[in-house]
Amino acid sequence: MLRVRCLRGGSRGAEAAHLIGAMLGRAVTGWVQRVSQSTSSAAAAVEEEHVTGSAQQEECPVCCFNEWDPLEEVIVGRAENARVPPFTVEVKANTYEKNWGFFQKYGGQAFPEDHLKKAVAEIEEMCNILRHEGVNVRRPEHIDWSQEYKTPDFTSSGLYSAMPRDILLVVGNEIIEAPMAWRSRFFEYRAYRPLIKEYFRKGAKWTTAPKPTMADELYDQDYPIRTVEDRHKLAAQGKFVTTEHEPCFDAADFIRAGKDIFVQRSQVTNFMGIEWMRRHLGPDYKIHIISFKDPNPMHIDATFNIIGPGLVLSNPDRPCHQIEMFKKAGWTVVKPPTPLMPDDHPLWMSSKWLSMNVLMLDEKRVMVEEKETTIQKMFENLGIETIKVSIRYANSLGGGFHCWTSDVRRRGTLQSYFH
């Protein structure tokens, strides 16, 4: 009808039709925009409800301020599909000469099948005992670590998802993914992402530290290690296989005591990584760098393990250079007894001092190796009940109870224990 009137009305009719069309177009456009905005707002509200709705209804499932408050939920690693890491410069610097032949021969292959089966069975039993003690146990995904991957800077295969302590650090209600320093661990975070996303949806904060390229510049390609004496000398000089090319750290080089967090510069944690953590956590927490007489520093918890308020296990073979500041603060420093692990037991990526790498279930309960009777007596003398579990074969993969776990929730509050 409008088109007919336009033809009949001449130029004035055409102008009128044009005006009416423009007005109609603006009206339709406005209506479409309002509908679109309304739909977008509704979609955003639904999405926000999906992500945060449960967080508003439930208490945050992630909360940890120290190593000893009552443990309610924990992630326990997996030995399944574990592979021997390729024998790269950073692996060489973190292992002992007696095991170099093993890495050269089996790098990229599976760990010995029978040994791995026994380790898997031990960790399953450990999970059962944790559940019996009232702890909710979560596990990472099964991953095929044999697949080779390539970045613009390197080629590698994977390692495992056995040691969540190395990659995840919980501070308050925040999960921090460590960037790691071994190329074979570059994609290890993938095993934990489903869990982390679940925690995030329920209200946890989630931070991924800057991922290093792990280019050749991150490592001292000529790191001169031949003997234990070499290692002692280099460590005393502050020289490590990792450089300051970019931030890197393993979460297991940090240990928490409320508002104070202690960390060591090690073969896998550099000063840039420590500084990133300091700036990220901000003024609510104080980061203390401590050091040890350790020829091969990597992960603090078999050298210096805080087990209660003002109570720390300090490795007598690796004395802490700053131990006097803990004594002045009124802390009790306990030297654990010499480990009882037999010399012929394979320890490809760790030392016998995994005996002190214990997991506190609370201030009065500790998970400890079944065969380490002398350290059990030490704990009993401290008034701490020992929960005995055997993980000797799991030890061979590079960790004790503390390494094999990452505590997600402990019932407690943020306090200061170091004055």
- Please identify every residue annotated as catalytic: 250, 299, 403
What crossing angle do the helices spanning 193-201 and 2-57 adopt, rounded to 10°? 100
Q: What strands, in cross-sheet order, belong to the sheet with 174-177? A: 168-171, 174-177, 205-208
Terminal CA-to-CA distance of the chain, rounded, Å? 88
Residue 323 class from Cβ within 10 Å (0-12 exposed, 13-18 middle, 19+ buried)? middle
d(CA 159, CA 188): 8
Which has the closest alpha carbon to 292: 266, 265, 319, 274?
319
DSSP code per residue over 46-87: HHHHHHHHHHHHS--S-BBSBSSSPEEEEEE-B-TT-BPPP-
How do strand 205-208 and strand 174-177 relate by DSSP bridges? parallel
d(CA 293, CA 317): 8
Residues in the chain: 419
d(CA 261, CA 288): 6
DSSP code per residue over 120-181: HHHHHHHHHHHHHTT-EEE-PPP--TT--EE-SS-EE----B--HHHHEEEEBTEEEE---S
